[in-house]
Structure 1
Protein backbone atom coordinates (compact mmCIF):
# COMPACT_ATOMS: atom_id res chain seq x y z
CA UNK A 1 0.00 0.00 0.00
CA UNK A 2 1.36 3.40 -0.93
CA UNK A 3 1.79 5.66 2.08
CA UNK A 4 0.64 9.26 2.20
CA UNK A 5 3.27 11.72 0.99
CA UNK A 6 3.42 13.56 4.33
CA UNK A 7 4.95 10.49 5.96
CA UNK A 8 8.17 11.24 4.11
CA UNK A 9 10.78 12.93 6.34
CA UNK A 10 11.53 15.51 3.68
CA UNK A 11 7.97 16.88 3.66
CA UNK A 12 6.40 18.75 6.57
CA UNK A 13 2.88 19.94 7.15
CA UNK A 14 0.81 20.95 10.17
CA UNK A 15 -1.53 18.20 11.35
CA UNK A 16 -3.02 17.02 14.64
CA UNK A 17 -1.39 14.41 16.84
CA UNK A 18 -4.20 11.96 16.13
CA UNK A 19 -3.71 12.27 12.38
CA UNK A 20 0.03 11.94 12.88
CA UNK A 21 -0.59 8.56 14.52
CA UNK A 22 -2.34 7.38 11.37
CA UNK A 23 0.54 8.43 9.14
CA UNK A 24 3.12 6.89 11.49
CA UNK A 25 1.31 3.56 11.33
CA UNK A 26 1.12 3.72 7.54
CA UNK A 27 4.81 4.58 7.29
CA UNK A 28 5.58 1.42 9.28
CA UNK A 29 3.35 -0.70 7.06
CA UNK A 30 0.70 -1.18 9.76
CA UNK A 31 -2.40 -1.02 7.54
CA UNK A 32 -4.36 -3.59 9.60
CA UNK A 33 -4.90 -2.89 13.30
CA UNK A 34 -7.10 -4.19 16.12
CA UNK A 35 -8.81 -2.28 18.89
CA UNK A 36 -11.76 -1.07 20.89
CA UNK A 37 -12.60 2.65 21.14
CA UNK A 38 -13.19 4.79 24.22
CA UNK A 39 -13.22 8.42 25.28
CA UNK A 40 -9.48 9.06 25.63
CA UNK A 41 -8.60 7.56 22.25
CA UNK A 42 -11.57 8.96 20.26
CA UNK A 43 -9.51 11.67 18.48
CA UNK A 44 -7.51 8.83 16.90
CA UNK A 45 -10.67 6.95 15.94
CA UNK A 46 -12.11 10.10 14.32
CA UNK A 47 -9.03 10.26 12.10
CA UNK A 48 -9.23 6.51 11.49
CA UNK A 49 -12.69 7.01 10.02
CA UNK A 50 -11.37 9.73 7.71
CA UNK A 51 -8.50 7.50 6.54
CA UNK A 52 -10.42 4.22 6.40
CA UNK A 53 -9.44 3.77 2.76
CA UNK A 54 -5.79 3.47 3.82
CA UNK A 55 -5.91 1.56 7.09
CA UNK A 56 -8.23 -1.27 8.15
CA UNK A 57 -9.44 -1.53 11.75
CA UNK A 58 -10.85 -4.73 13.26
CA UNK A 59 -13.27 -3.98 16.08
CA UNK A 60 -12.85 -6.60 18.79
CA UNK A 61 -15.36 -7.22 21.56
CA UNK A 62 -12.76 -6.74 24.29
CA UNK A 63 -9.35 -5.06 24.47
CA UNK A 64 -7.68 -8.31 25.47
CA UNK A 65 -9.00 -9.79 22.23
CA UNK A 66 -7.25 -6.98 20.34
CA UNK A 67 -3.87 -7.94 21.78
CA UNK A 68 -4.34 -11.64 21.03
CA UNK A 69 -5.52 -10.82 17.50
CA UNK A 70 -2.49 -8.57 17.00
CA UNK A 71 -0.28 -11.41 18.23
CA UNK A 72 -1.82 -13.84 15.76
CA UNK A 73 -1.36 -11.30 12.96
CA UNK A 74 2.30 -10.82 13.90
CA UNK A 75 3.01 -14.54 14.00
CA UNK A 76 1.24 -15.18 10.70
CA UNK A 77 2.80 -12.30 8.77
CA UNK A 78 6.09 -11.52 10.51
CA UNK A 79 4.99 -7.88 10.80
CA UNK A 80 4.42 -5.89 13.99
CA UNK A 81 0.91 -6.33 15.37
CA UNK A 82 -0.93 -3.21 16.55
CA UNK A 83 -3.58 -3.00 19.29
CA UNK A 84 -5.50 0.13 20.29
CA UNK A 85 -7.34 0.89 23.55
CA UNK A 86 -8.58 3.78 25.62
CA UNK A 87 -7.43 4.80 29.10
CA UNK A 88 -8.23 3.18 32.45
CA UNK A 89 -9.90 -0.22 32.13
CA UNK A 90 -9.36 -0.22 28.38
CA UNK A 91 -5.61 -0.01 28.86
CA UNK A 92 -5.47 -2.47 31.75
CA UNK A 93 -7.41 -5.02 29.70
CA UNK A 94 -4.40 -5.19 27.35
CA UNK A 95 -2.01 -6.48 30.02
CA UNK A 96 -2.66 -10.23 29.67
CA UNK A 97 -2.02 -10.10 25.91
CA UNK A 98 1.03 -7.91 26.40
CA UNK A 99 2.49 -10.33 28.94
CA UNK A 100 1.82 -13.21 26.55
CA UNK A 101 3.59 -11.37 23.73
CA UNK A 102 6.57 -10.72 26.00
CA UNK A 103 6.88 -14.38 26.94
CA UNK A 104 6.41 -15.57 23.34
CA UNK A 105 8.67 -12.89 21.79
CA UNK A 106 5.91 -11.50 19.60
CA UNK A 107 6.42 -8.01 18.08
CA UNK A 108 3.51 -5.78 19.03
CA UNK A 109 2.85 -2.07 19.50
CA UNK A 110 -0.02 -1.13 21.78
CA UNK A 111 -1.34 2.43 21.67
CA UNK A 112 -3.49 3.65 24.55
CA UNK A 113 -5.31 6.92 25.06
CA UNK A 114 -4.82 8.81 28.31
CA UNK A 115 -6.51 11.68 30.12
CA UNK A 116 -5.30 15.21 29.39
CA UNK A 117 -1.77 15.96 30.54
CA UNK A 118 -3.06 18.55 33.05
CA UNK A 119 -5.00 15.76 34.77
CA UNK A 120 -2.15 13.28 35.13
CA UNK A 121 -1.66 12.25 38.73
CA UNK A 122 -4.98 13.74 39.84
CA UNK A 123 -6.94 10.48 40.02
CA UNK A 124 -9.15 11.72 37.20
CA UNK A 125 -11.94 9.64 35.65
CA UNK A 126 -10.42 6.56 33.99
CA UNK A 127 -6.87 7.68 34.69
CA UNK A 128 -4.63 4.68 35.31
CA UNK A 129 -0.85 4.53 35.52
CA UNK A 130 -0.57 2.18 32.55
CA UNK A 131 3.14 2.99 32.21
CA UNK A 132 3.83 1.69 35.71
CA UNK A 133 1.53 -1.30 35.25
CA UNK A 134 2.99 -2.37 31.90
CA UNK A 135 6.67 -1.82 32.67
CA UNK A 136 7.35 -5.42 33.83
CA UNK A 137 5.81 -6.97 30.70
CA UNK A 138 7.02 -4.68 27.88
CA UNK A 139 10.32 -4.20 26.09
CA UNK A 140 9.72 -0.47 26.31
CA UNK A 141 6.92 1.93 27.11
CA UNK A 142 6.50 5.69 26.91
CA UNK A 143 3.90 8.31 27.73
CA UNK A 144 3.46 11.06 25.12
CA UNK A 145 2.23 14.41 26.44
CA UNK A 146 3.11 16.57 23.42
CA UNK A 147 2.15 15.96 19.79
CA UNK A 148 5.66 16.76 18.54
CA UNK A 149 6.94 13.61 20.30
CA UNK A 150 4.69 11.29 18.29
CA UNK A 151 6.81 10.64 15.15
CA UNK A 152 10.06 9.90 16.99
CA UNK A 153 8.42 7.81 19.71
CA UNK A 154 6.35 5.74 17.25
CA UNK A 155 9.43 5.12 15.11
CA UNK A 156 11.32 3.90 18.19
CA UNK A 157 8.36 1.77 19.25
CA UNK A 158 8.28 -0.19 16.00
CA UNK A 159 12.06 -0.51 15.89
CA UNK A 160 12.24 -1.88 19.43
CA UNK A 161 9.26 -4.18 18.95
CA UNK A 162 10.71 -5.91 15.88
CA UNK A 163 14.46 -5.83 16.57
CA UNK A 164 16.58 -8.31 18.51
CA UNK A 165 14.30 -10.54 20.54
CA UNK A 166 10.91 -9.21 19.41
CA UNK A 167 8.37 -8.16 22.00
CA UNK A 168 5.60 -5.76 22.98
CA UNK A 169 5.89 -1.98 23.32
CA UNK A 170 3.22 0.28 24.81
CA UNK A 171 2.76 3.95 23.92
CA UNK A 172 0.37 5.99 26.06
CA UNK A 173 -0.85 9.26 24.51
CA UNK A 174 -2.69 11.99 26.38
CA UNK A 175 -5.88 13.32 24.83
CA UNK A 176 -4.57 16.87 24.47
CA UNK A 177 -1.53 15.57 22.56
CA UNK A 178 -3.93 13.94 20.10
CA UNK A 179 -5.67 17.27 19.48
CA UNK A 180 -2.51 19.40 19.40
CA UNK A 181 -1.20 20.42 15.98
CA UNK A 182 2.44 20.44 14.92
CA UNK A 183 4.67 20.24 11.86
CA UNK A 184 4.80 16.55 11.01
CA UNK A 185 7.75 14.70 9.50
CA UNK A 186 8.54 11.01 9.84
CA UNK A 187 11.76 9.04 9.60
CA UNK A 188 12.07 5.37 10.48
CA UNK A 189 14.32 4.53 13.42
CA UNK A 190 17.43 2.50 12.64
CA UNK A 191 19.46 2.95 15.83
CA UNK A 192 18.94 3.89 19.46
CA UNK A 193 21.85 4.85 21.65
CA UNK A 194 22.36 2.42 24.56
CA UNK A 195 19.98 -0.13 23.00
CA UNK A 196 21.73 -3.20 21.60
CA UNK A 197 19.18 -5.48 19.91
CA UNK A 198 21.67 -8.32 19.40
CA UNK A 199 24.32 -8.48 22.16
CA UNK A 200 27.85 -9.49 21.28
CA UNK A 201 28.58 -13.14 21.96
CA UNK A 202 31.01 -13.69 24.84
CA UNK A 203 32.97 -16.73 23.68
CA UNK A 204 34.57 -17.31 27.08
CA UNK A 205 31.13 -17.61 28.64
CA UNK A 206 30.02 -20.02 25.91
CA UNK A 207 33.09 -22.18 26.53
CA UNK A 208 32.46 -22.15 30.26
CA UNK A 209 28.85 -23.22 29.69
CA UNK A 210 29.93 -25.95 27.29
CA UNK A 211 32.48 -27.20 29.80
CA UNK A 212 29.86 -27.31 32.55
CA UNK A 213 27.47 -29.27 30.31
CA UNK A 214 30.15 -31.68 29.06
CA UNK A 215 31.36 -32.51 32.54
CA UNK A 216 27.89 -32.75 34.11
CA UNK A 217 26.79 -36.24 35.20
CA UNK A 218 23.08 -35.60 34.61
CA UNK A 219 22.75 -32.54 32.35
CA UNK A 220 19.31 -31.05 31.77
CA UNK A 221 18.76 -28.32 29.20
CA UNK A 222 15.54 -26.30 29.06
CA UNK A 223 15.28 -24.62 25.66
Structure 2
Protein backbone atom coordinates (compact mmCIF):
# COMPACT_ATOMS: atom_id res chain seq x y z
CA UNK A 1 0.00 0.00 0.00
CA UNK A 2 1.27 3.46 -0.88
CA UNK A 3 2.29 5.76 1.93
CA UNK A 4 -0.17 8.58 2.54
CA UNK A 5 1.18 12.09 2.17
CA UNK A 6 -0.02 15.45 3.40
CA UNK A 7 -0.62 18.28 0.95
CA UNK A 8 2.56 19.96 2.16
CA UNK A 9 4.56 16.78 1.56
CA UNK A 10 3.11 16.56 -1.95
CA UNK A 11 4.16 20.14 -2.73
CA UNK A 12 7.73 19.51 -1.61
CA UNK A 13 7.89 16.16 -3.42
CA UNK A 14 6.60 17.75 -6.62
CA UNK A 15 9.33 20.41 -6.45
CA UNK A 16 11.98 17.76 -5.85
CA UNK A 17 10.59 15.64 -8.71
CA UNK A 18 10.90 18.65 -11.03
CA UNK A 19 14.56 19.13 -10.03
CA UNK A 20 13.94 22.41 -8.22
CA UNK A 21 16.99 23.24 -6.10
CA UNK A 22 16.17 26.66 -4.63
CA UNK A 23 12.97 28.14 -3.25
CA UNK A 24 12.82 31.87 -2.55
CA UNK A 25 10.27 32.94 0.00
CA UNK A 26 8.89 34.60 3.06
CA UNK A 27 6.95 32.45 5.55
CA UNK A 28 3.40 33.16 6.64
CA UNK A 29 0.57 31.35 8.39
CA UNK A 30 -1.08 29.84 5.32
CA UNK A 31 2.11 28.15 4.09
CA UNK A 32 3.70 27.12 7.39
CA UNK A 33 2.90 23.42 6.82
CA UNK A 34 4.87 23.62 3.55
CA UNK A 35 7.73 25.35 5.36
CA UNK A 36 7.70 22.63 8.02
CA UNK A 37 8.18 20.01 5.30
CA UNK A 38 10.74 22.14 3.48
CA UNK A 39 12.96 22.15 6.55
CA UNK A 40 12.59 18.37 7.06
CA UNK A 41 14.52 17.55 3.88
CA UNK A 42 17.85 18.47 2.31
CA UNK A 43 17.17 18.50 -1.44
CA UNK A 44 15.72 22.01 -1.60
CA UNK A 45 17.48 25.11 -0.33
CA UNK A 46 15.31 27.91 1.00
CA UNK A 47 16.43 31.49 0.42
CA UNK A 48 14.78 33.70 3.04
CA UNK A 49 13.99 37.25 1.93
CA UNK A 50 12.50 40.20 3.81
CA UNK A 51 9.55 40.87 1.49
CA UNK A 52 7.53 38.83 -1.00
CA UNK A 53 8.36 41.16 -3.88
CA UNK A 54 12.03 40.56 -3.14
CA UNK A 55 11.43 36.81 -3.28
CA UNK A 56 9.98 37.05 -6.76
CA UNK A 57 12.72 39.34 -8.05
CA UNK A 58 15.39 37.08 -6.54
CA UNK A 59 13.81 34.03 -8.17
CA UNK A 60 13.60 35.96 -11.42
CA UNK A 61 17.31 36.80 -11.26
CA UNK A 62 18.08 33.18 -10.43
CA UNK A 63 16.07 32.00 -13.44
CA UNK A 64 17.74 34.47 -15.77
CA UNK A 65 21.25 33.65 -14.60
CA UNK A 66 20.91 29.85 -14.45
CA UNK A 67 18.36 29.05 -17.15
CA UNK A 68 16.34 27.12 -14.55
CA UNK A 69 12.81 27.88 -13.39
CA UNK A 70 12.64 30.23 -10.42
CA UNK A 71 10.43 29.09 -7.55
CA UNK A 72 8.71 31.32 -4.99
CA UNK A 73 6.76 30.44 -1.83
CA UNK A 74 4.66 33.12 -0.11
CA UNK A 75 1.60 33.22 2.12
CA UNK A 76 -1.97 34.14 1.26
CA UNK A 77 -3.54 37.58 0.94
CA UNK A 78 -0.91 40.30 1.29
CA UNK A 79 1.86 37.80 0.60
CA UNK A 80 0.31 36.98 -2.76
CA UNK A 81 -0.47 40.59 -3.66
CA UNK A 82 3.05 41.70 -2.72
CA UNK A 83 4.36 39.23 -5.30
CA UNK A 84 2.33 40.64 -8.21
CA UNK A 85 4.83 43.28 -9.39
CA UNK A 86 7.63 40.74 -9.69
CA UNK A 87 5.34 38.19 -11.32
CA UNK A 88 4.23 40.76 -13.88
CA UNK A 89 7.85 41.65 -14.61
CA UNK A 90 8.70 37.97 -15.10
CA UNK A 91 5.69 37.56 -17.38
CA UNK A 92 6.62 40.58 -19.50
CA UNK A 93 10.22 39.35 -19.82
CA UNK A 94 9.23 35.70 -20.43
CA UNK A 95 11.20 34.60 -17.37
CA UNK A 96 10.20 31.09 -16.20
CA UNK A 97 8.81 31.36 -12.69
CA UNK A 98 6.51 29.36 -10.42
CA UNK A 99 4.87 31.10 -7.47
CA UNK A 100 3.15 29.03 -4.79
CA UNK A 101 0.89 30.97 -2.45
CA UNK A 102 -1.20 30.00 0.50
CA UNK A 103 -4.97 30.33 0.71
CA UNK A 104 -7.52 30.30 3.49
CA UNK A 105 -9.45 27.05 4.04
CA UNK A 106 -12.01 26.39 1.31
CA UNK A 107 -15.01 26.74 3.61
CA UNK A 108 -13.87 30.27 4.54
CA UNK A 109 -13.49 31.62 0.99
CA UNK A 110 -15.93 34.46 0.45
CA UNK A 111 -16.34 35.12 4.17
CA UNK A 112 -13.69 37.85 4.56
CA UNK A 113 -11.39 35.45 6.38
CA UNK A 114 -8.03 36.69 7.65
CA UNK A 115 -5.68 37.25 4.69
CA UNK A 116 -8.28 36.00 2.21
CA UNK A 117 -7.63 37.08 -1.37
CA UNK A 118 -8.90 35.78 -4.70
CA UNK A 119 -5.64 34.82 -6.38
CA UNK A 120 -6.94 32.72 -9.26
TM-score scaled by structure 2? 0.96
The answer for the alignment partner of 2:67 in structure 1 is 78
Q: Which runs of 4+ in 1 moved over 4 A?
A: none
d(CA) in 2 for partners of 1:98, 1:54? 25
Q: 1:10-54: CA deviations, max 9, x gaps?
A: x94311010111110011111111000000010100111111x11
Is 1:21 aligned with 2:22? no
1:130 aligns to what SS in structure 2?
Answer: coil
Q: Which runs of 5+ in 1 are unaligned?
A: 1-10, 132-223
1:56 to 26, 45, 51: 45
The answer for the alignment partner of 1:66 in structure 2 is 55
The answer for the alignment partner of 1:198 in structure 2 is none
The answer for the alignment partner of 2:76 in structure 1 is 87
Is 1:127 aligned with 2:108? no
C-alpha RMSD of the superposition: 1.1
1:50 aligns to what SS in structure 2?
Answer: coil
Matched positions, count? 120
Q: Which runs of 5+ in 2 are unaligned?
A: none
Is 1:104 aligned with 2:104? no
The answer for the alignment partner of 1:113 in structure 2 is 102
d(CA) in 1 for partners of 2:104, 2:35? 16
Task: Kindly name which structure, 1 or 2, has the bigger radius of gyration based on alpha carbons.
Answer: 1
